[in-house]
Each structure stands twice: as structure tokens, then as C-alpha cells.
Amino acid sequence: MALTRRTFITSALALGAFTIVPRRVLGGPGFTPPSDELTKGVIGIGGMGHWHLGNTGERLVAVCDVDEEHLQEGMRIGGVKGYHDFRELLERKDIDVVHIATPPHWHALISIAAAKAGKDIWCEKPMTRTIAEGEKVVEAVGAYSRMFRVNTWFRFSGDLFYDSGGTARQYRKLMRSGLLGWPVTVTIGAATGFNWKFYHSGRTDLTPRWIPPQLDYDFWLGPAPYKPYHPHRVHYTFRGYWDYDGGGLGDMGQHYLDPVQYILGKDDESPVAVEADAPAQHPEAVSSFRRILITYADGCRVILEGEREKDDIPFIEGPEGKLYKDLRSTIVNLKEKIAQLPEPESVVTDFMESVRTRKKFALNETNAHRSATLVNLCKISWQLGRPVHFDPATQRCKNDEAANRLIDPPMRAPWHLS
């Protein structure tokens, strides 16, 4: 059970006063004052890319998109150069951080290429579209000693799941204390703050259309299988297709599941079983689900609740007590008790600080890969229509060849991981 694991220890100490040397002064004395400005390039500037163009702490110098219309819009920003091919953007020596806001089927390839090029990486959620892609990103980011963050934040900032009434830090303390008993069940759904079925269903009635001239559709597809063009596959609606993402779960799953792994102390493990209760899925178009049950080796469970929207469901339930929204609980004086518990390890919550000091960001490639794995495992059970059993050590399913082929599907040439 989680309590026997090594106690987390607080440390606000800097790992070291290491300083990244911005590209343009490479070869200089090796020390850069923290006030020195970092630079960024944003790849994929259609949807979430807009957000990344804004002030995230670095100066924008380059944008990249395979849709000429997006690119022209981005290039209206002063001092910014536009690229069609992300590999050309990565060749620039004066870029410190690369923001990846493409659809998810590109996240891993671009992350790995950016790591090879010596860029630090700020990647949109979900971190990767498959588990094997996540493994390769972890490998590359580690080997090339890069800094990496995924663009979700509930584990270190704000109210957990928007309105649970507490921060992830508070929940982490509570879970570690065992006050609710162990194992616990965490439920996430409309009743606890988010409707998983929200948006992003694919369509099964797509008839081929002409590819618009401003879009390099073949490059947009990249590693994904070639399918005839239809506008619903691409911008803003691509999440409804398994080839590029996984519906509302792909969109928001990591957002909500990442802090769950953190509060349960499962940042270096994965579940052993996932079972989706859903209508049969089309091979291309994502539809909805009723419930997905995630089980860990120690008996902890996470339920993605697609129904019971109006019920007052306990957010977290253990043998000793229940916890509802707004920190209501069957345990008396819970807030006071939480305040007295040992503090969890402190983390870096400013990515620019990570880039400058080379201290890992709170949500980095390793723990984000584990939370993306939750999403990707759920997608597999959901697609196959059966429970899958997972080995957290090998990161492969047990006795399920079809599931493992979804864990590591081949990419369309010439794209490859590694």
C-alpha cells in the first residue's frame, strides 16, 4: 500500500545553480543572468497554438504550421519567421524552447526531434498518442538531457479538477496519511466536475473532399495512415478520430488523470487493469463511453464516470471515509487535519525556471508519460471492447497481442520513432 513507500521529503533546495546558455551566446562565459531572455518557436498554431503564441515567458521568434492560412496569421506577429517544416525550425540555433501544439499524433515525433536538436520542450496534452511513443520520448528527453513539460497543471496549480475545493497538494497529503484508509477509489465525471463525453465524436459518414490548397494534408497526416481528406478530420475536429487522438478522453483525460496519479503516489507506476463500458467503437471515429474502470496492483481504482451526472458522488472513497466536492467528508475536521500533515516534496512550477536551472519541471516527461499511459490504456480497452491487463514494468499488456499492437503501432513511412 502507498503508505509503505518511501516517504516523500520536502525540498525547496535548488538541485544546482546550473544555467542554460541561450543559443545565441553559446560559447560565451557559460553563465547567463536569470533575467536573460529565452526564445521560443511554436509548432502547430491553429487551435491551442494560439495560446502558446502568447506570453509564456519566452520571446517568440518562429512559428510553424502545415496550413498556410495559419502560418500567414502567425507571421503577422512582428519579428517572427514562419516555417512549413518543423525540422527547419529545429535547425535554428537561436531557439531555446519549442512549443508543440500540433494534434497528438505528431507530439512524440516532434518532441524527439526537438530533443535531438537540443531544444527544451513545452508540449500540449495528451503527451503522446500511444504508450510506445511515450517511452521513446522519455528515452530521448533523458538521453539528450532536455527539459520537458506537458501543458496541463492541476497537479501543481489551482483547485484540483476546477472545483473540488482543494489543491492537489492537499489531496496528496491526505492520501499519504491514510486517513481515508487504503485502497481508495477516485471518481471523475460530470458530477465531480467534468463531463468526459464532452465534444469530439468522429463522423462515420465522411465522403472524400478536395484538399484545400493552403493545407499540406500529407504532412498533416505524417505518421498516421493515409485516409481520404475531409475537413472534419483536421483542424478543431480531429480529436474525434482514433488516428490522431481519442475523443474527449484524449483531449481532457491527461488534464484530469495526471493529478490523480500524483495524489495517489503512483507517479512511477501504472494500473494493472482497465475496463471500458462503452458502445462498440468504429475503427476510425470515436464515440462515447459510459464508464471506464482503472485498477492498480494495490487495489486503488479510478472510475471515469460518464453517467450519474446529477448524483453527489464521493470524489474519493476509502474504507475509512469518503470525500465529496468542496472537501466535504465523513471525517470530521478534515481541513484542519490536512493542515497538520507532513508536506509533500516541493516542485518547480515555472518552466522557465526549469530551463534555466535544469531542475525538472513538476510535470515532466516521466510522470507525464505515466499519466498519458492511463489515457492511452483506457483508449485501448475502449477500442477493443474488452478489459486489458497491463504489466507496469514492461509497459505491455499480458496475453493480448491485439492490445500490444495498439501500444506500439507502426508509423507510416518515412516517419519512425527513435
Partner 1 sequence: MINFLPLSMTLIAALIISGCASTTTSTAPAPPISIDQLLGTMPARDTVEALWLYSSMTRMGPDAVMAICKKLGPPATETSTQAEFALQGLASFVTAEGRETERMMFVGALAKALEVARPPDQSTFILGRLQVAGRGESIAPIARFLDDERLSGPAAQALVAIRDGAEAPLLAALAASHGNVRVMIIKSLGDLRSPGAFDPLRTEVASQDPRIRLAALYALANIGDSRTGDILAKAAAEGPANERGEVTACYLLLARREAETGDAAGALSIGRMLYDRPTATEGVQVRAAALEVIVRSKSESAIDDLIAAMADSNGQIRSAALRLASRIPGTTATRRWVAATERGATRREIVSMLGTRGDGSAYPAVISLMGDADAGVREAAVDAAVRLKGEESVPLLLSLLERSSEASDITAVRMALESLPRERVIPPVVASLSRVTPAACVMLVDHLGRFADTLSGPLIGLTKSAVPSVRLAALRALGAAGKEADAPRLIALLLGTESEAERAATEKSLVSLCGRIPDPENRSDGLLAAYRAATPVQRARLFRVMGRLGGSKALSLVSAETRSKDPDLHDAAVRALADWPTLDAFDSLLVVARSDGNLNLRVLALRGAVRLVANSPIPPAAAVRYHARTLAAAVRPDEKRLALGALANIRTSEALREVIPYISDDSLGLDAAMAAGTIASGRADEKDGPGSAQVARAFIESMVPGRFRSRVEHNFDAAEGMGEPPEGFKALFSGRNLDGWKGLAGNPVLRANMTPEQLAVAQARADSVMKAHWSASDGILVFDGRGENICTDTDYTDFELMVDWKIEKNGDSGIYLRGSPQVQIWDPSQWPEGSGGLYNNEKNPSKPLVRADVAVGQWNRFRIRMIGERVTVWLNNVMVVDSVVLENYWDRSIPIFSSGQIELQSHSSPLCFRNIFIREIPVRSPLFTGNLFNGLDLTGWKLIDGKDGNWGVEQGLLYTTGDGGGWLSTAREYDNFSLDLDFRLSEGGNSGVFLRSPRQGDPAYTGMEIQVLDDYADEYASLQPWQNCGSIYGVQAPSLRASKKAHEWQHYHIVAVGPHVSVTLNDQLIVDADLTSHMDKESTHPGLKRRSGFIGLQSHTRRVEYRNITLKELAWKEENDTH
Q: Does 219 bind partner 1 (CB under 8 A)?
A: no
- Residue 19 interacting with partner 1 (CB under 8 A): yes
- Shortest Å, Cβ 10 to partner 1: 4
Q: How far is CA 189 from CA 45, 172, 253, 260, 333, in A?
A: 30, 20, 11, 13, 26
Q: Residue with C-alpha cell 498554431?
A: 45
Maximum pairwise Cα distance, the chain:
64
Indicate whether 143 belongs to the interface with partner 1 (CB under 8 A).
yes
Among 66, 117, 300, 323, binds partner 1 (CB under 8 A): 117
Q: Is 401 exposed, middle or buried (0-12, 13-18, 19+ CB in 10 A)?
A: exposed
Question: Cβ distance 389 to 398 under 8 Å?
Answer: yes
**Which of 123, 174, 278, 302 is close enough to bind partner 1 by CB under 8 A?**
278
* CB nearer partner 1, residue 87 or residue 319: 87
Please pick, from the candidates 115, 150, 168, 273, the single residue that binds partner 1 as defined by CB under 8 A.
115
Angle at CA of residue 409, ends 407 and 411, nearest 5°: 145
Residues from 31 through 90 that contact partner 1 (CB under 8 A)? 50, 53-57, 60, 76-80
DSSP letters along 114-170, please?
HHHTT-EEEEPSSS-SSHHHHHHHHHHHHHTT--EEES--TTTSSBTTTTSSSBHHH
Comparing CB distances to partner 1, the nearer of 59 and 181 is 59
121 DSSP 8-state letter: E
Give residues 148-207 in contact with partner 1 (rule: CB under 8 A): 153, 157-159, 163, 204-207
CA distance 163 to 373: 25
**290-326 exposure pattern, b = at least 16 Cβ within 10 A, e = fewer:** ebbbbbbebebbbbbbbebeeeebbbbbbeebbbbbe
Footprint of partner 1 on residues 258-277 (CB under 8 A)? 277
Judged by CB under 8 A, the residue of 116, 231, 311, 312 near partner 1 is 116
Q: Can you list the alpha helix ranges (DSSP code H) found in 144-178?
A: 168-177
Q: Which residues contact 393 (CB under 8 A, 6 or more apart)?
A: none
Stretch that binds partner 1, among 264-272, 280-288, 296-304, 314-322 (CB under 8 A): 280-288
Of the candidates 1, 5, 11, 335, which one interacts with partner 1 according to CB under 8 A? Answer: 11
Bridge partners (DSSP) of residue 390 are 397
Which range, of 3-11, 34-42, 256-264, 314-322, touches partner 1 by CB under 8 A? 3-11
Least gap, CB of 145 to partner 1 (angstroms): 4
Which residues pair with residue 64 across a beta bridge? 43, 83
Peptide bond between residue 319 and the one before it cis (omega within 30 degrees of 0): no
Q: Is the Cβ–Cβ distance between 304 and 311 less than 8 Å?
A: no
Residue 123 CB, shortest distance to partner 1, in Å, is 17
Among 37, 320, 345, 391, binds partner 1 (CB under 8 A): 345
By CB under 8 A, how many residues form the interface with partner 1? 93
Least Cβ distance, residue 205 to partner 1 (angstroms) = 4
Identify whether the C-beta of residue 45 lies closer than 8 Å to the C-beta of residue 86: no
Region 349-378 residues binding partner 1, contact defined as CB under 8 A:
350, 352, 358
Per CB under 8 A, which region of 4-12, 125-133, 250-258, 368-376 contacts partner 1?
4-12
Closest to partner 1 by CB, 80 vs 272, is 80
Site for partner 1 in 374-403 (CB under 8 A): 383-386, 399-402
Nearer to partner 1, 124 or 400 (CB): 400
